[in-house]
Amino acid sequence: MAVVTVNQGESIESALRRFKRKVMTEEIIKDAKKHAFFMPPGQKAKLKSPRPRDSPGCSQQKVRFGQNVFKRQGPVC
């Protein structure tokens, strides 16, 4: 929990700025968003693993020969 004490003679704006900085460094907002809703473990694993069709070798590539355009298929994904 981020706690900031306002020093004597310090403006509220500067104390608020220090508070915001402390919240950002402690990643409180990020943690709150992460725990905002329940995500099953299987769904977490899906988000962490890269999808095979997003890899660079699996995309369709256009090859130009003169005026004709041919689509060359990459590996089957």
Domain coverage including residue 11:
1-37
| Local structure of 55: helix, strand or coil | coil
Q: Do 48 and 24 touch, CB atoms closer than 8 A?
A: no
**CA–CA separation, 67 and 69 (whole Å):** 7
pLDDT 10s per residue in the chain (77 long)?
789 999 999 999 999 999 999 999 998 888 888 888 888 888 888 888 776 555 555 555 555 555 555 555 555 55
Domain count, the chain: 1
What is the pTM for the complete model shown?
0.45
| Residue 73 belongs to some domain of the structure | no
| Residue 19 belongs to some domain of the structure | yes
| Residue 17 belongs to some domain of the structure | yes
| Residue 43 belongs to some domain of the structure | no
CA 42 to chain CA mean position, Å: 19
